[in-house]
Chain A
Amino acid sequence: MIARARATVLAIAIAAGILAGLGWRIGLAADGASHISGWLVALVAAAIAGVAGLLAIETVRRPLRELAASMHDVVRDTSRRVAVPESSANDEARTVTEWFNFVAIDADQSHRALARERVLLSAVAEGLTQGVIAVDAEHRVELLNDAARAMLGVTSTPVGEPLIELVRVPELFALLDSEQNASAEVQLQSGHRTLIRVARKWGGDGRVLLLEDVTAMRRLETVRRDFVANVSHELRTPVAVIRANAETLLAGAANDPVMGARLIDGLHRNAERLARILADLLDLSRLDAGQYRLSAVPVELRSAIDSALTAVETKAAQREIFVEIAVADGLRVTADPKALDQVLVNLVDNAVKYTRTNGHVWIEAHPDGSSIRIEVRDDGPGIAKKHHERLFERFYRADPSRSREAGGTGLGLSIVKHLAESMDGAVGVEANTPTGSTFWLRLPRSP
């Protein structure tokens, strides 16, 4: 703009000079004066016009330049304001400055409000335990919070990238294409069971996906459902036998010396069984409520195992099962002696019960850091891996027919788990190689 004005001023000055020179020459030609002085006058006139023009331009140019520099600072830092140019105290440049500042303050306020919203939104999104994914109409990621990243195994911050480059869960994309608000439950590769819900984004074509981890909830539902089914079954069987036997006895079988005795024996055995189940349930509920007071004293492990073994000796001998103990003398754990005995008897009894006739049971103990790991291994048929996780649930049966036949209440391992945890220990199960199972118990080591 200034350059164009400058060229215009120069052209006007030259034209003014030429015109002045021509006028002078025409005036002098009549007098017959010199041509040279005419051109000189023209040159001087042009110079004066030019300088005057350039000075005028400069008075406009300086405030404009100051204004531009000031505006540049404002663009870089929105908290600054444009200063009124020193060289123009009270003219159009000042008006421009004031209007610019007005717009700048407005923009600054909107900018700050937006930034606050963004911080709030990301704080909310990141704080959620639910996964949140927002995508635009082209299925490009606009937001993906930490929870969603963890569930889907995404490590980057992929804003602007197509979602399909990060996630390929079929159900998730089917939901994105569905018209109305819909949901689906999927098993993700990370092992999470996830409920995905999709919602249309307000004021846009994109979608918002909400991912909720329902793994624990579904597992609890299954445990509860199975517990109710199993506890009814466990109680119903002995009750049915007792009732049937009692009815038969009342109907006259009491007078039959052979049948009567058998029926009474059945009554007794099943009443015993009911009593055992109820005692176990009572123990469990006491453990759950924290009413089961345990002491924590140093216990010599080898002698604890030896005494637990006496409880299963007869059974092992009947089934010709060879029990081998490899526990060094002097190993001591911190435990409640009575609870430890209950745990050990339970684990060894299970091993003897479920291994094959002529089978082997090994009991070993090794120090493992600040704890001691006790292993009870057998070479029986083993337990399918899918049951491992649920084996310590109340009344859970890996093979219902076999375990009832073996006479368990279905609560033994559940009690073992509770007792071990009450003694700051843990229990677990692994497959033994080549066959059988390994039940391990970890307890704090005593000095």
Chain B
Amino acid sequence: MTAHTSKEFDQELRTLRERLATMGERAGNQIALAMRALGDQDDEQARAVIAGDVVIDRDENEIDELALQILATRQPVASDLRFLTMALKFVTDLERIGDLASGIAKRALELNRVPRFDSRVDLGPLATLVMRNLQAALDAFVKRDAEKAKSVIVADVEIDRLNASLFAELLAHVAADPATVTRVLPMTSVCRYLERAGDHVKNLAEQVVYMVSAMDVRHRPFLPHRN
């Protein structure tokens, strides 16, 4: 590869890296805004989140195209190839996180239409955990830090645990007063969305480990795993 082409190639890889990281940030913002819409009972905010999903979808298309174009024109090998194949999976997980944020916003709209009840169930800590894990996964990605990525995979266990306990608390409300079901159902959905977003974050972290160390840690028993 000539020096000129190599420089162009480096720039393309850099653009891809920046696009992935900023898309991740956008997806995280969407989750944060959706949770705020839920907490503030703010219809306007919820609708803004749903409308904002279009930008994440566009990100997905553009990044996919960029990665495929680099693959086709540069035919990379070794770590560059790993990075590009990773990018193609990374973008799908990020797009799903965006969809889940949009789902939370839709449930927030529903929740604003049903009567409230006296409940101490707080989904905030679960959302905070998911968002913090997403930030850590993105940090690990931009800094090529396999150890940090592994800590994200381990932290997913905590998300699953919290989700399970929130689920049980919500069900207890229905058991005590069946009338609360109209409110509890959307709330359990939000719980599930957050837990699934957490799973996607874990996928991101696994791909970072693969990109950095060429080690496939998916479905590996040595790391604490869900199920």
The smallest C-beta distance from B46 to any residue of chain A, in angstroms, reads 12
Bound together, the chains give a CA A195 to CA B18 distance in angstroms of: 21
A52 within 8 A of B: no
- Chain A residues with CB under 8 A of B142: 162, 164-165, 168
Question: In the bound complex, do residue B25 and residue A168 qualify as a contact, i.e. CB atoms below 8 Å apart?
Answer: yes
Q: In the complex, which range does the number of interface residues on chain A fall in?
A: 10 to 19
Selected from A139, A168, A384, the residue in CB contact (under 8 A) with B42 is A384
A386, B39: Cα distance in complex, Å: 10
A435–B18 CB distance below 8 A: no
C-alpha spacing A138/B41, complex, angstroms: 43
Whether B61 sits at the interface, judged by CB under 8 Å, is no
Whether the Cβ atoms of A385 and B17 lie closer than 8 Å is: no
Complex formed: what's the CA distance from A384 to B37 in Å?
A: 11
Binds B, one of A33-41, A169-177, A211-219, A314-322: A169-177
Asked if A165 meets B25 with Cβ closer than 8 Å, knowing A139-B18, A434-B118, the reply is no
Chain A residues, CB < 8 A from B10: 138
Report how far A347 CA is from B96 CA in the complex, Å.
47
Beta-carbon contacts under 8 Å, A87-142 to B? 138-139
Does B97 count as interface, using CB distance less than 8 angstroms? no
| A186 closest partner in B (C-beta) | B29
A138–B42 CA distance with the chains assembled, in angstroms = 41
Per-residue CB proximity of A380-402 to B under 8 Å, as 1/0?
00001110000000000000000
Residues of B within 8 A of A386 (CB): 40, 42, 45
Mask, A138-177, CB within 8 Å of B = 1, is 1100000000000000000000001011001110011001
Q: Which of B102-141 contact A (CB under 8 A)?
A: 116, 118, 138
Q: Does A189 contact B (CB under 8 A)?
A: yes
Contact between A173 and B18 (Cβ–Cβ < 8 Å)?
Answer: yes
Interface residues on B, range: 20 to 34
Q: Are B42 and A177 in contact (CB under 8 A)?
A: no
Question: Are A169 and B25 within 8 A (Cβ)?
Answer: yes
- Whether A164 and B18, one on each chain, are in contact in the complex, defined by CB atoms closer than 8 angstroms, is yes
Q: B24 an interface residue at 8 Å Cβ cutoff?
A: yes
User: Which residues from chain A contact B116 at a C-beta distance below 8 Å?
Assistant: 435
Considering the chains assembled together, what is the distance between the CA atoms of A43 and B118 in angstroms?
Answer: 115
Select A384's contact among B19, B25, B41, beta carbons within 8 Å.
B41
Number of A-B contacts (CB under 8 A): 44
Residues from chain B with a CB closer than 8 A to the CB of A138 are 10-11, 14
Do B21 and A164 touch across chains, with their CB atoms under 8 A apart? yes
Q: Which of B35-81 contact A (CB under 8 A)?
A: 39-42, 45
CA distance A171 to B125 in the complex (A): 28
Q: How far is the CA of A384 from the CA of B44 in the complex (A)?
A: 13
- Shortest distance in angstroms between A378's beta carbon and chain B's nearest beta carbon? 16
Closest A residue to B55 by beta carbon equals A170
Q: Does B6 contact A (CB under 8 A)?
A: no
Which residue of A165, A168, A385, A434 contacts B24 across the interface (Cβ within 8 Å)?
A168
Candidates A165, A177, A434; contact of B15 at CB < 8 Å: A177
Q: Are A170 and B25 neighbours in the complex by a CB distance under 8 Å? A: yes
Most A CB contacts (10 A, CB to CB) among B11, B14, B29 go to B29
Decide: A168 and B118 in contact? CB cutoff 8 A: no
Cα A139 to Cα B22 in complex, Å, equals: 14
Which residues of chain A come closer than 8 Å to B26, judged between CB atoms? 170
Complex CA–CA separation, A385 to B124 (angstroms): 15
Query: Chain A: which residue is nearest B10 at the CB level?
Result: A138
Distance to closest chain A CB from B136 (angstroms): 13
B143 within 8 A of A: yes
Complex-state Cα separation, A342 to B128, whole angstroms: 42
How far is A164 from B10 in the complex, measured between Cα atoms in Å? 15
A189 touches B29 (CB 8 A): yes
Q: Is B190 an interface residue (CB 8 A)?
A: no
B201 to chain A, nearest CB (A): 15
Q: Is the CB of A170 within 8 A of B39?
A: no
- Tell me the chain B residues, 4-32 only, with Cβ under 8 Å from chain A: 10-11, 14-15, 17-19, 21-26, 29, 32
Q: Who on chain A is nearest to B41 by CB?
A: A384
Q: Give, as a whole number of angstroms, the nearest-CB distance from B9 to chain A.
A: 13
For the complex, what is the distance from the CA of A138 to the CA of B7, rounded to whole Å? 10
For the complex, give the distance between the alpha carbons of A162 and B14 in Å.
10
Chain B residues with CB under 8 A of A170: 22-23, 25-26
The 9 closest A-B pairs by CB, nearest first: A168-B25, A170-B22, A434-B118, A385-B40, A386-B40, A168-B21, A165-B142, A164-B18, A173-B18
User: Can you report 19 A-B residue pairs in the complex whose CB atoms are below 8 A from each other?
Assistant: A138-B14, A162-B14, A162-B142, A164-B17, A164-B18, A164-B142, A168-B21, A168-B24, A168-B142, A170-B22, A170-B23, A170-B25, A173-B18, A173-B22, A174-B22, A384-B41, A385-B39, A386-B45, A434-B118
